[in-house]
Chains A and B, each alone.
Chain A
């Protein structure tokens, strides 16, 4: 089944880019291709720097504790034990899950599981952050904390991309791409209209 017939976009350093679109339009497929867990049929994806990915459904190992989960992914990112420990406590404090560090993933509530899902994407301070509806299950305070974090990261030069459904948060986004009919349109300044403006540098893909 063909989901995307022409997707051309770029994510620039230090900006927060939103990807919007109707259910089933191919937003997650697009992100999976950008991240590298799904192979595109055609076209190229260029990634520079380290990538952090927060998938829509928490992809975590149920029988590992939160601490073990950090250790496993931290090793993948090439972090030392001290760096992993520092990142774990920093994010646990920020997102308020310090009391659950010794809990197994399958013992956590949906919201706390999502906090770990997000933290794993953030723990190595990536250059490019790909977030697929990262706040699902968050309470209001955690939702606001998440946006503070995203804005801090963007200010530090991280390229943040997120799939979003909420109209009210579009004011927080620097640019907005809409996935529609298998195509990706830049709709940043064109509410309700379409635009096929392509990016100039960074990441692009075709399928």
Chain B
């Protein structure tokens, strides 16, 4: 095995032994998503979405809307914390790997690979739990937007881990997805387009896609997914830069 493969496979083992992460993966989807469906009153609510390029309001069942919002919150929250833990734990010790001969790109590839694997699992579990109660109109578009928002939050977790300590980082990564996805982008709370500054948050573009492809029969937000992917790439470049500075041999 080469260095990247070795660091990746050992990194996966290390994360599998992170019982906090495993517990979050088991407890959060059920408590957030399943309970959201169970306790939400089944009434029709006006929902803001995109139809033929126009922002319109459609009537949808409140549990469905709640489910569409709680699923990415769950996934973003766990992925964000995973990214945070990954960076906090690896930040200092990965520098020793560089002294041992690892190239920065090998360490980065391994760490990002671990985060990608965790994000895939988190997204899979979150969507799987959601599917018990709710089937989106366009499942694969929905899953694509879920992956984008989860990876974006995972990377943001890594960035936060580079500048804040564990406790401060945890608070931030607990609050950020709640505010972003659960408040600023929630189509139940914001009946018109969100303010310009709310659109700067990572949830804006992916949630548009999820509301559209989860709750309406036509896909009108393909371009939003492209913007969401662009946002993800921007965060990825920033994170790689920060990680590179931390792990390269001087």
Contact = CB atoms under 8 A, between A and B. Distances in A.
Given A63-B17, A72-B10, A37 B100 contact: no
A116 interface: no
Contacts, number: 64
Contact of B98 (A36, A64, A75, A77): A36
B18 A63 contact: yes
Given A72-B6, A75-B7, A76-B3, A37 B99 contact: yes
A77 B100 contact: yes
A155 interface: no
A104 B17 contact: yes
Interface residues of B, number: 24
A72 B7 contact: yes
A61 B99 contact: no
A45 B99 CA distance: 14
Interface stretch (B89-97, B120-128, B137-145, B177-185): B89-97
B100 A76 contact: yes
Contacts of B96: 37, 53, 55, 59, 73, 120
A94 to B, nearest CB: 20
Contacts of A61: 10, 14, 89-90, 93
B97 A73 contact: yes
Interface in A36-53: 36-40, 51, 53
A39 B14 CA distance: 29
A120 B96 CA distance: 10
B26 to A, nearest CB: 18
A125 B238 CA distance: 37
Contacts of A63: 13-14, 17-18
A72 B90 CA distance: 13
B34 to A, nearest CB: 30
A46 B217 CA distance: 65
A38 B249 CA distance: 8
Given A37-B250, A59-B93, A76-B3, A64 B10 contact: yes
Interface string A52-72: 010100011111100010011
Nearest to B96: A59
Contacts of A78: 101
A129 B93 CA distance: 18
B99 A36 contact: yes
Pairs of residues from A and B, 3 with the lowest C-beta to C-beta distance, nearest first: A76-B100, A75-B6, A76-B101
B249 A36 contact: yes
11 contacts: A36-B99, A37-B99, A37-B250, A51-B99, A53-B99, A62-B89, A64-B14, A68-B13, A73-B97, A77-B101, A120-B100
A61 B92 CA distance: 10
Interface in B138-163: none
Nearest to B110: A72
A72 B93 CA distance: 12
